Structure 1
Amino acid sequence: MAGSAAAGSDGPGLARRLGAGDAVLVGLGAMLGAGVFSAFGPAAAAAGSGLLAALVLAALVAYCNASSSAALAVRYPESGGAYRYGRERLGRVWGFLAGWAFVAGKTASCAAMALTLGGYAWPEQRVPVAVAAVAVLTLVNYLGITKTALATRVLVAVTLLALAAVVAACLGGGTASAANLTGWTSGGLLGIGQAAALLFFAFAGYARLATLGEEVREPERTIPRAIPVALGLVVAVYAAVACAALLAVGPEALAASAAPLATAVGAGELAWLAPAVRVGGAVASAGVLLSLMAGIGRTSLAMARDGELPTALAAVHPRYRVPHRAELLLGVLVAALAAAGDLVFAIGFSSFTVLTYYAVANAAAFTLPGPGRVRRRAVAVLGGAGCAALAVVLPPSTVLTGMAALLLGLAVRGAVGAVRRRRASAGR
């Protein structure tokens, strides 16, 4: 059950090196920056000043998902997240669907973060910078989780300082006005739903904590505490930044800008802080990219251990104690996507597939027995319904592409399984 995957695999396991503070920082590194620097513009275009309502809606769905994930992490404290939970509670097919959705969606997220990094650091050379960043951060993850946590600590500190400067410049630049919040929403309830789905992209990083089951000390205590703490801190930061930016320039200016926070800062008397926003955007994107790549590697490790992905990806480096083959393959895929990808589409595709991942997690949490079952089931139902609602209100092209990717994964799994069964029969 809980420890079967790790115990039954060959070679060394992952090292338990992270404490509660490190786990919270990894969660902050996975979430902080994505919504602020990538999703606020498209979300403002969909919802207008209803962006604030959309933020609350996205945070509510994220909280339900986090609660379900925390309850499951107590029972199954090994790597894999909702892939492991779905497999154990619902069956192998549902586990595979969650794992495939996570790997596909988060790979797209990595490409989006790499392109965001390049766009803020050096707009004229966005793609080469993105590819170079992927190469460097693949190396950091390859060298081990302790180095990842240390790098994340630095990145989170720099990001928070940059966002504090954004809030100060927006509120102190002389342009802040409540009049900029008139016209509550430009797209009605549908627009708010679409904006919430896009902003969910900003909160989905707490899945990284659920994939740390084999690498934190006392996971049954650490993970349930770290998830809500990290999520609560991120909600507070996003709300402060969103309010400040809307008050400074209004939703129309944010929607029209490729760098909405730089636009908000540049409109006032403290425009000299705009370069700090670009540095903050690059640093925040690097922090998200670092954590996301580590999480995908651990989910791929769990799936490979179970034979759902090639078993070669289950290898753990004897010195650095990381799934090194999975990390290297991921680096190649993300670099390729960053070289040819579309930022807005990547965000939408990632949101759809990650919402699918969490729908499976909520369904798995619904089946858990024991004390608190009534409350746990209520939260799981609310979270699952929220995931479904946000997924279907995304643009139709995004929904269709996401569904096609999920069906492709199931078809590939079926074909691989059929080949293995024929080989097993022939060997008898």
Structure 2
Amino acid sequence: MNKKMKFWSIVLLTINSIIGTGIFLSPGGVTKQAGSMAPFIYICAAIFAAVLAVTFAAASKYVVKNGAAYSYARAAFGANTGMFIGVTRYVSASIAWGVMATGVVKNALSIAGMDSKNMVNVTVGFLVLMLLLFIINVKGTAFLTLISDLSTAGKMAALAITIVVGIVIIVTTGENHISDVELLTNADGSPLIPAMDATVFVTAVISAFYAFTGFESVASGASDMENPEKNLPKAIPLAIGIIAVIYFGIVLVAMMINPVALVQSEEVVVLASVFSNKIVRGIIVLGALISMFGINVAASFHSPRVCEAMAKDGILPAFLGKRNANDIPLNAFVLTAVLAIIVPMSFMYDMQGIMIISAIARFAQFIIVPLGVIVFFMGKQKEEIIDARKSVITDVVFPVISVILTVILLYKFNWKGQFSVTDETGASRINWYAIIAMIIGYVVLPVAVYVNSNSKKK
């Protein structure tokens, strides 16, 4: 059961790590910003993501250890930088896994017509899902790969069927309603869709870009993959390309059929509201459930291996780096699962306050890793790396563009929204959960790990 992932399984894992709930549950968000230009905004976002993905793929040819951004940062800039990136990445990944598990349960309850706000319902479903993920993981990499492949195939099949059915409807009816979205208005009669300018364009592209994130985690389990130094650099960009085609197709046909439903629907699975046929709607809803489950399978694979990588380097306790008979980092998995369970439960499954950690950790990776690739290209790294084939385009040009794009991303990020919340009366107040989470995740934990690590060395 410890058979390593082959090339196409890595591609499917990458797709599984990226396609989650967004394209099923909330594809109208970008449409509200970009109107009829939304399908093309996704193409621009795909190019944005592809540049970053190629940069991460370039890093993976130099460093094939588990941990992804942690291992790249450590090799390029030394143990302390690697430790900071690793700790913040691990904490954010564990939280993100808990958030995704919570999302699966709440959305599944809503789809089933059950009360998704009932804490008992959510807790029972949450624990059952985490137990199922535990069983999948302890069975070994081969079994997890099978489940990941099947869930990816399921979500892709649902999206592909939706695109095909949409094309058939458009061709047979001869109708195109894509411009209808431009006629929508607010309560005061003003246009719902803003006029397209540079600010609107950049904001819309950034919103669409988040639908492509997840590729940065794929190399976390490099040691469980076959020839990662060759397969990862090919698999990650290929997966981004496949996803770009799927997103473009889905948004385009949905907007040509019923863009008003895409923007205004209050159904849980918004994409399903575009279609009137019950069979098609059922396929989309089933695809959404499979997609939500699949991205949790991917998260349960990536996150523990960041912990394992740091344990093997002596940053975390050594027992977290040990594997069981099925070649699974069981101790690291258990710790990660505990974090993924406790944090959502502690916040009563309201994750708005702590998601800021995940967002900032991602930005940190998008700057450190590109700079690390440039360091690898120049041969100035702090630790030994693989003597890989160098390329000015992928190892210098793309990383430079990646840093520039990330700076734009940071500038346009909704900082105010992350550190403030609106109560039931509509009043805005400071989001203390987010502030506390930032202090713990970016100051307290890194300092604690640093002190512990250095005390061991002494």
TM range (shorter): 0.7 to 0.9
CA distance in 1, matches of 2:12, 2:55: 20
Q: Which deviates further from its counterpart, 331-340 or 360-369? A: 331-340
Name the SS for the 2:404 alignment partner: helix
Deviations 1:231-275 (A, max 9, x none): 11111111111112222332674365342212222xx3x244222
Aligned pairs for 1:15-54 within 5 A = 17-54=4-41
Residue of structure 2 equivalent to 1:218: 227
Q: Which deviates further from its counterpart, 80-89 or 188-197? A: 188-197
Name the SS for the 2:410 alignment partner: helix
Deviations 1:1-40 (A, max 9, x none): xxxxxxxxxxxxx956121122112112212234313552
Residue of structure 2 equivalent to 1:418: 451
Residue of structure 2 equivalent to 1:360: 368
Q: Which deviates further from its counterpart, 343-352 or 359-368? A: 343-352
After TM superposition, the score normalised by the length of structure 1 is 0.84
Do the aligned residues in 2 keep the contact of 1:15 with 1:214 (CA within 8 Å)?
Answer: no
Deviation at 1:417, TM superposition (A): 2.9
Residue of structure 1 equivalent to 2:177: 177
Name the SS for the 1:296 alignment partner: helix
Q: Compute the RMSD of aligned alpha carbons.
A: 3.1
Question: Judging changes above 3 Å, is the alpha-carbon distance between structure 1 residues 371 and 320 closer, same or farther for their aligned structure 2 residues?
Answer: closer
Alignment match of 2:309 (pick from 298, 302, 317) = 302
Deviation at 1:404, TM superposition (A): 6.0
Name the SS for the 1:388 alignment partner: helix
CA distance in 1, matches of 2:203, 2:300: 26
Identity percentage over the alignment? 19
Please identify the structure whose Cα radius of gyration is greater: 2
Residue of structure 2 equivalent to 1:384: 403
Question: Judging changes above 3 Å, is the alpha-carbon distance between structure 1 residues 216 and 121 closer, same or farther for their aligned structure 2 residues?
Answer: same
The amino acid that maps onto 1:295 is H
Alignment match of 1:324 (pick from 309, 321, 330) = 330
Deviations 1:111-147 (A, max 9, x none): 3432332344331254243442222112212221111
Deviation at 1:362, TM superposition (A): 1.1
Paired residues, number: 408
CA distance in 1, matches of 2:217, 2:94: 13
Residue of structure 2 equivalent to 1:166: 162
Do the aligned residues in 2 keep the contact of 1:25 with 1:152 (CA within 8 Å)?
Answer: yes
Structure with the largest fraction of helix:
1
Q: Does 1:140 align with 2:136?
A: yes
Do the aligned residues in 2 keep the contact of 1:196 with 1:390 (CA within 8 Å)?
Answer: no
Q: Which deviates further from its counterpart, 231-240 or 15-24? A: 15-24
Aligned pairs for 1:21-420 within 5 A = 21-123=8-110, 124-126=114-116, 127=122, 128-171=124-167, 172=169, 176-182=176-182, 185-186=193-194, 189-250=198-259, 253-254=262-263, 257=266, 258-265=268-275, 268=276, 270-317=277-324, 319-339=325-345, 340-342=348-350, 350-369=358-377, 371-373=390-392, 375-397=394-416, 401=434, 405=438, 408-419=441-452
CA distance in 1, matches of 2:209, 2:93: 13
Name the SS for the 1:77 alignment partner: coil
Do the aligned residues in 2 keep the contact of 1:114 with 1:130 (CA within 8 Å)?
Answer: yes
CA distance in 2, matches of 1:398, 1:92: 34
Deviation at 1:422, TM superposition (A): 5.3
Question: Judging changes above 3 Å, is the alpha-carbon distance between structure 1 residues 416 and 156 closer, same or farther for their aligned structure 2 residues?
Answer: closer
Name the SS for the 1:214 alignment partner: helix
Do the aligned residues in 1 keep the contact of 2:34 with 2:204 (CA within 8 Å)?
Answer: yes
CA distance in 2, matches of 1:287, 1:56: 24
Do the aligned residues in 2 keep the contact of 1:345 with 1:398 (CA within 8 Å)?
Answer: no
Deviation at 1:376, TM superposition (A): 2.3
Q: Which runs of 4+ in 1 moved over 6 A?
A: 343-348
Deviations 1:166-185 (A, max 9, x none): 33454527675132353795
Deviation at 1:352, TM superposition (A): 4.0
After TM superposition, the score normalised by the length of structure 2 is 0.79
Unaligned runs of 5+ in 1: 1-13
CA distance in 2, matches of 1:255, 1:384: 36
Q: Which deviates further from its counterpart, 361-370 or 289-298? A: 361-370
